[in-house]
Structure 1
Amino acid sequence: MTVSSDTVPFASAAAASGAPFVETPVAYDALVLASFGGPEGQDDVIPFLRNVTRGRGIPDERLEEVAHHYRHFGGVSPINGQNRELKAALEAEIARRGLDLPVYWGNRNWGPYLDEAFAQAAADGHRTLLVLATSAYSSYSSDRQYREDIARAITEAGLDQKVTADKVRLFFDHPGFVAPFQEGVADAVQQLIADGIAAEKIHVLFSTHSIPTGDAERSGPRDVDWGEGGAYGAQHRAVAEYIMANLPVGGGVLPWELVFQSRSGPPTQPWLEPDVNDVIAGLPSRGAQAVVIVPLGFVSDHMEVLWDLDTEAMQAAEEAGIRAVRTPTPGIHPSFVAGLVDLVEERISGMPAAERPHVTPLGPWYDVSRPGDCENARLGFRPAAAGLVP
């Protein structure tokens, strides 16, 4: 069996040609759940942040400026607990469907690490692996960096030429991912209207992680003009437009916009704007009496949601004198879990692209990333799995 390719590194035979969609069935024998990771105690915080910022030479004094977010919650990020719940939910749904597919879990930045997950899967006799990353959108940090870490983990585990690793497509517009956000927005708007706030006085802010504008411009295939924010911005706008167009109450009346949060770069480096807190501060001058904050860029209630939205954005709304509701993330919502397993079965069966579910004109996204997709402007191209080189 050929398990490595100059065209698509570490790819299965079905994906090795580099075609954008793999429409040939693949007998995967294990699923690897890949996530960001997070500290699980005060002593873990700085070592974790060193992992996150590896190669950037950031001193511990500056890392401590971010560390206080984690220290506020006892040094524990909720993300590992959420991934344990998601892994259990996936295993239950996989078993319900009668699929023989064990699930392994590994993180990019904290234990259990990805290389440990691949090593355990291989030790258990599994060779044809499918990776499911807990990230829905195109950007370096949310797509290519996962693919780089898959390649690095396989190499560090000594499994080059021993296993293959494909990756589930980005799922930003899969109905299973979008449905929990739709429900959350509808519930929040209905409650605010029931409480006497007119629909036109309710502003909906779809919030996602800000990224450097240079990385945003490089997100998505290079042969498409994605507009402001590259594919990253286009994907979020498309999903937000879909949600608002299908809102059962207040449709066509409620003002909304895409906002950004959690920027961490130096002030001299341009990042995507506007900032969620700045927008909230200006809402009263636009006639708003309430704001619905939708964490559209996030799959679960991890630190960026708990601190940047539930703490800072809520404080901004209080200072602005307007009511604020933050809607849920998908977490382990049944539609999300079922949708993820649908995506796994899509690859097992080799479902034709024309039959794959998606709710925006941008989907379905590619199984195999296109050349140059999501380049890091600072680092350039490093070895990455599940995509055409570079």
Structure 2
Amino acid sequence: MIGLFALFALCAQLCMATHIKRGPHRLAGQVDDRRFSRREFGERKLGLATKLLTDQWATQDVCDNKYTVMADKWNQDSGSGSQSTQVYECNAGKAAFASQWQWQNAQDQVKTYSSVALKSTQNSLQQPISNYKSLQSSWSWTVEGPADAHWDVSFDIWLGTAPNDGGSSAVSAFEIMVWTGHQNAAPVGPQIGTVTLQGTTWTVHAGPVSHWTCISFVAPDNIEQYQGDVLDFVRWGVENVNGLNDELILNAVEAGTEAFIDQRQTLLNAELSVEGADVAWQGYVYVCCGESRRSNFEIERTSILREVVMQRSSRLVGCLARNRSNLANGISARSTLATARPSLLPALGCAPTEQSTQRRTLATPAAERASLTGIDRSTSNRPPTGVVFMNMGGPSTVPETGDFLSRLFHDGDLIPLPFQRFLAPAIAKRRTPKIEKQYEAIGGGSPILRWTKEQAKGMVELLDELSPATAPHKAYVAFRYARPLTEDCLDEMARDGVTKAVAFTQYPQYSCSTTGSSLNEMYAVLKQRQELDKIEWSVIDRWPTHAGLIDAVARNIEVALQQYPADKRDDVVLLFSAHSLPMSVVNRGDPYPAEVASTVHAVMTKLGHSHQYRLVWQSSVGPSAWLGPQTSDSIKGLAKLGHNDVLLVPIAFTSDHIETLYELDVELMEEAHELGMTGVKRVESLNASPIFIRALADIAAQHLESGKVVSKQMMLRCPQCTSERCGPTKAYFARQ
């Protein structure tokens, strides 16, 4: 019998809760149901066995409902084998369990995370990080088994953007893992450096998992006796990782072992004792970011932090099936949507010097979040140069979907309709229920605003360095169909006293239906408000072949290709997918198809034309003719031609939104699964890629230095242009 045994004990008052969204799905006949013998654990006294967990998502509350033991066989379909978990009665406040498994195949993929977690209802939790003084922990474990087994023993801390009482990771932004032991297993993402904490030099790894970022601290040698404050690892993240701040909520903590594969009998004994978390409810003030506190972070910032491209976690493989099962049972949390594309690691930045360190009250971070830049306005006597990020936007919450669709279908630049004023509301109303379900499936709204703010924040910080003559800079967001809308953007700029601004499209390739529509709307709102002469504007209208953009996309492709076996990697077909356009728009002479093709060509040149590829189009709506071939039709065609390994590359999107997270990651993956294609994957979106954020800063800096108001290409109207708004808009921006 192949097996691995794990024992964990957990006690006291740690302020956390489990993150797993569990479904009732059970795979009958896969689990060895034999009872565990305490003799197998030597002289260790576990207490009386109570319940055997055999279902995939089985759980058992223990110790007066303070803790939950979880089987958590979340990725069991990626391999073959079985697992069962024996729960023991609470002994002196400690929860204990033993897990036995046998797994084969897919040795680099986690199959399970049998673990114990603190329950939300019985512990002080769902509070900001700044409310906690310590999370004291101690555990001991031993492993007996073959050298070819794959496993890790790890502590798991979950940080979210809001309190999480629903038992899922829907609000998770970061996962912090502390690996005190492992064998033949690798954490998520590449190593980005080392840090000395608690007398041990840990390697630090970072990478995306679904919609959150995982940061792993891996001990150089197995620490079989661990005692310390695990909040130290969270504090390091607060000091060194953009987006990880002490206003994030401590959502969950778990302790367990991840099983990859076992070749023979393996024995794991582990105990965990978490001492009471000391919570300062009167407002513990955390002093962040002193340079002296980072002296042990041994990493070359310019060569690694700004150039690192995060690898996709193998833990996502096989989760599409789990998502379908959970959705079928009415679960719509993002944690169940394993195909949701992940956020890349936010750009890690050097902490401020000791001189720039400020003590922060609990209210301060919220004020900082209200500004995209965090510029200390007291250091500048002049208003900021505005940089307006223009994009289509998306509903941040499900109830906003109807308004989003109504604005979208009213836009004749994007979707020209006969009798548009009358048809648009009817179409939007009819499609709203369907689209609401899609947004529910990806976590309850679009992440595009969050990503736009992250990109804008990083860009502005670099731009202040690259273009001091026009500093300080402040980024603003003007979405076309969702808030913040153009008028919201202009209101904020007015409050800040902005007199000079750059309209910076976030569509790399120009189209009259995207960038053109946003500029038309900007001009119309300014005219309506009688503010045409209030701001001196310039425009960045396209950047389809900018070297930084091409490098960022190429790097993400190279990382994604590593997911394929070496003997199949060279035969992977690259499908570059972009948003389609109605042929009526294309036939007027819209430059979008040619500019998207130029981006694809530049990327393939960067890659040395290493793979076969095609440019395809997605997201067509309605019965009229659209630019093709459609992405879904292309997948079907490649399947008929015998292709199995296809890598999807979003080429006209700069961040994740519904077209990547649902159309590609859910609908298209399901189609591929039905066609028997097991090798269809997707490249990460650019999101917060440090390379991409640097590209944005370079584009803006070069534009400001050039002194150009608009590009020559922007002034050329389509040969068959029918828009009444196009001419006046171009003329307005050109005469600035």
Cα distance in 1, alignment partners of residues 723 and 626 from structure 2: 14
Distance 1:342 1:293, change over 3 A: same
| 2:570 partner amino acid | A
Q: Of 121, 140, 144, which residue of structure 1 is paired with 2:493?
A: 121
Q: 1:277 to 1:140 in 2, by over 3 A?
A: same
Q: Does 1:245 align with 2:602?
A: no
Counterpart-to-counterpart distance in 1, 2:625 and 2:455: 35
Quote the residue 2:702 is aligned against: 346
The alpha-carbon deviation at position 239 of structure 1 amounts to: 1.9
Equivalent pair of 1:30/1:129 in contact (CA under 8 Å): yes
Preserved CA contact (<8 Å) 1:185 1:327: yes
The equivalent of 2:670 in structure 1 is 315
Corresponding residue for residue 164 of structure 1: 536
Displacement after TM superposition at 1:262 (Å): 0.7
Structure 2 residue 513 is matched with structure 1 residue 141 = yes
Q: Deviations over 1:358-381 (max 9, x none)?
A: xxxxxxx93661232497757774
Q: Which amino acid is 2:586 matched to? A: A
Q: Which runs of 5+ in 1 are unaligned?
A: 1-26, 221-230, 353-364
Please tell me whether residue 281 in structure 1 is matched to residue 611 in structure 2.
no
- Report 1:176-215 matches (<5 A): 176-194=548-566, 196-197=567-568, 199-200=570-571, 202-215=572-585
Contact 1:48 1:109 in 2 (8 A): yes
Q: Could you tell me how far apart the structure 2 residues matched to 1:76 and 1:301 are?
A: 11
Q: What amino acid maps onto 1:234 in structure 2?
A: A
Q: 1:62 to 1:303 in 2, by over 3 A?
A: closer
In the alignment, is residue 73 of structure 1 matched against residue 442 of structure 2?
Answer: yes
Question: Equivalences for 1:261-272 in 2 at 5 Å?
Answer: 261-264=618-621, 266-267=622-623, 269-272=624-627
Instruction: Report the CA distance between 1:29 and its aligned residue.
Output: 2.7
Distance 2:456 2:569 in 1: 41
Q: Quote how far apart the aligned CAs of 1:277 are.
A: 1.0
* CA deviation after TM superposition for structure 1 residue 94, in Å: 2.4
Distance 2:529 2:513 in 1: 22
User: CA offset at residue 128 of structure 1?
Assistant: 1.9
Q: CA shift at 1:34, angstroms? A: 2.0
Task: List aligned pairs for 1:1-390, cutoff 5 A.
Answer: 29-54=385-410, 56=420, 57-58=423-424, 59=426, 60-97=429-466, 98=468, 99-194=471-566, 196-197=567-568, 199-200=570-571, 202-220=572-590, 231-247=591-607, 251-252=609-610, 254-264=611-621, 266-267=622-623, 269-322=624-677, 323-350=679-706, 366=711, 369-373=714-718, 381=726, 383-385=728-730
Considering Cα pairs closer than 8 Å and 6+ residues apart, tell me whether 1 or 2 has the greater RCO.
1
SS, match of residue 513 in structure 2: helix
Q: Is the 8 A contact 1:168 1:367 kept in 2?
A: no
Could you list the per-position Cα deviations for residues 148-167 of structure 1 after superposition, in whole angstroms to 9, with x for gaps in the alignment? 01112322443122223221
Cα distance, 1:31 vs structure 2: 1.6
How far residue 387 of structure 1 moved from its aligned partner, in angstroms, is: 5.5
Structure 1 residue matching 2:564: 3-state secondary structure: helix
Cα distance, 1:271 vs structure 2: 0.3
Structure 1 residues 374 and 348: CA distance shift in structure 2, 3 A: farther
Give yes or no for contact 2:556–2:683 (8 Å, CA) kept in 1. Answer: yes
Q: Could you tell me whether the CA contact under 8 Å between 1:131 and 1:165 is conserved in 2?
A: yes
Q: Distance in 2 between matches of 1:315 and 1:145?
A: 33
Distance (Å, rounded) in 2 between the aligned partners of 1:183 and 1:377: 40
* Separation in 2, partners of 1:152, 1:42: 28
Residues 300-330 of structure 1: per-residue CA shift (max 9 Å, x gap): 0111111111111211221222211200122
Matched residues in 2 for 1:144 and 1:375: separation? Answer: 15
Cα distance change of structure 1 residues 33 and 380 upon mapping to structure 2, 3 Å threshold: closer
CA distance, structure 2, for counterparts of residue 216 and residue 314 of structure 1: 29
User: 1:109 and 1:348 mapped to 2: Cα distance?
Assistant: 28
Structure 1 residues 183 and 87 mapped into 2: Cα distance closer, same or farther (>3 Å)? same
Residue number in structure 1 paired with 2:100: none
Structure 2 letter corresponding to 1:258: L
TM-score (norm. length: structure 2):
0.43
| Structure 2 equivalent of residue 355 of structure 1 | none
Q: 1:113 to 1:308 in 2, by over 3 A?
A: same
Contact 1:104 1:117 in 2 (8 A): yes
Secondary structure at 1:145 match in 2: helix
Distance 1:258 1:368 in 2: 24
Q: Is the 8 A contact 2:544 2:598 kept in 1?
A: no
Deviations 1:112-163 (CA, angstroms, capped at 9, x unpaired): 2222222332332221211112111122222210110111232244312222
- TM-score by structure 1 length? 0.77
**Residue identity (%):** 22
Structure 1 residues 192 and 293, CA, compared in 2 at 3 Å: closer, same or farther? same
Q: 1:219 to 1:183 in 2, by over 3 A?
A: farther
Question: SS of 1:141's equivalent?
Answer: coil
Q: Partner of 2:531: helix, strand, or coil?
A: coil
Assess, with a 3 A threshold, how the Cα gap between structure 1 residues 379 and 311 changes in structure 2: closer, same or farther. Answer: farther
When structure 1 is superposed on structure 2, of 301-310 and 338-347 the one drifting more is 338-347
**2-side partners of 1:232 and 1:32: how far apart?**
21
Query: What is the match of residue 359 of structure 1?
Result: none
**One-letter amino acid of the counterpart of residue 100, structure 1:** P
Q: Distance in 1 between matches of 2:385 and 2:605?
A: 40
Structure 1 residues 132 and 380, CA gap change in structure 2 (3 angstroms)? closer
Give the total of aligned pairs. Answer: 335
Root-mean-square deviation (CA, aligned residues, Å) is 2.8
Provide the secondary structure at the position in 2 that maps to 1:121: helix
Kept in 2: contact 1:143–1:374 (CA 8 A): no
